[in-house]
Structure 1
Amino acid sequence: MDILSSEFVNQDAETRESPRNISSDNIEVLLQGASILSGGGGGNYDTALERYRSISPSPVNVKDLSDFCDDDTLVTVFGLGPVENQVDDQLSIASKSVRLFEERYSEVDGFVLGEVGPDLIVEAALAANELGAAVVDADVAGMRAVPSIQNEIIEATSISRTPLVATNGEDTLSIESGSGREIEARLRDLSTHDLWYVTGYANPPSDYSAAVQGWFDECVKFDRANISRLGEGRIYSIETTQSQGHSVGRIRIQGSENFEIFLLNENIIAFRDGEAISQAPDTICILDERGIGISNGNLPETGERVEIYELTYNFWQNAKCLNLESLGVQLQDGQIEFESGLTFEVSQYDG
Structure 2
Amino acid sequence: MSWSLDTVDLRPLAIGAAVLGSGGAGDPTLFELLAREVLATHGPVTVYEHADLPDEGILISTGLVGSVTAFSEKPSNGYECTHAFTRLRDALAPSPPVYVCGYETAGVNAFLPLIVAAQTQTPLVDVDCMGRGLSWLDQTTYDAVGIPIAPFTLTDSLGHTILAEAITGHEAERYIRTLTVTMGGWSAFAGYPVDATAAGTAGVHGALARAMRLGRSLDAEPSRHLGSGRVSEVTWQPGVEAAHGSIVVWLGPPDDRPLRIETRNEFLMVLDRGQIVATAPDIICLLDQRTRTPLLTETVTTGYQVDVLVYPAPSRWNEPAFSPLASPAAFGYSWAET
TM bracket, shorter-chain basis:
0.7 to 0.9
Distance 1:310 1:75 in 2: 31
Contact 2:129 2:204 in 1 (8 A): yes
Note if contact 1:84-1:247 (Cα within 8 Å) is conserved in structure 2: no
User: How many percent identity over aligned positions?
Assistant: 19
User: Is 1:199 the counterpart of 2:190 in the alignment?
Assistant: yes
CA offsets, 1:34-92, max 9 Å, x none? 21122112221433323333444421111012323344321111222355443353444
Letter in 2 for 1:37: L
Contact 1:284 1:311 (C-alpha < 8 Å) held by counterparts: yes
Aligned equivalent of 1:34, options 3, 10, 17: 17
Give the root-mean-square deviation of aligned CA atoms: 2.9
1:247 deviation in Å? 4.9
Aligned residues: 313
Instruction: Note if 1:131 corresponds to 2:120.
Output: yes
- 1:174 aligns to what? 163
Corresponding residue for 1:7?
A: none
**Larger deviation, residues 188-197 vs 258-267:** 188-197
> Secondary structure at the residue paired with 1:293?
coil
Structure 2 residue matching 1:235: 3-state secondary structure = strand
Distance 1:235 1:83, change over 3 A: farther
Task: Select the residue among 208, 212, 227 that pairs with 1:216.
Answer: 208
Equivalent residues of 2:80, 2:156 under 8 A apart: yes
Matched to 1:195, the amino acid is W
Match of 1:255 in 2: 251
Query: Matched residues in 2 for 1:112 and 1:36: separation?
Result: 19
CA distance in structure 2 between the partners assigned to 1:28 and 1:244 by the alignment: 36
Residue 234 of structure 1 aligns with which residue? 230
| Pairing 1:1-351 to 2, within 5 Å after superposition | 20-57=3-40, 58-82=43-67, 84-87=69-72, 88-90=74-76, 91-106=78-93, 109-141=98-130, 143-170=131-158, 171-191=160-180, 194-209=185-200, 210-221=202-213, 227-240=223-236, 243=239, 246-256=242-252, 257-289=257-289, 290-296=291-297, 299-313=299-313, 314-317=315-318, 318=320, 319-331=323-335
Q: 1-side partners of 2:243 and 2:127: how far apart?
A: 26
Structure 2 unmatched runs, 5+: none
Query: Are 2:61 and 2:100, in contact at CA under 8 Å, matched by a contact in 1?
Result: yes
Deviation at 1:136, TM superposition (A): 0.9
Letter of the 2:324 partner, please give it: K
Determine which structure has the larger helix proportion and give its number. 2
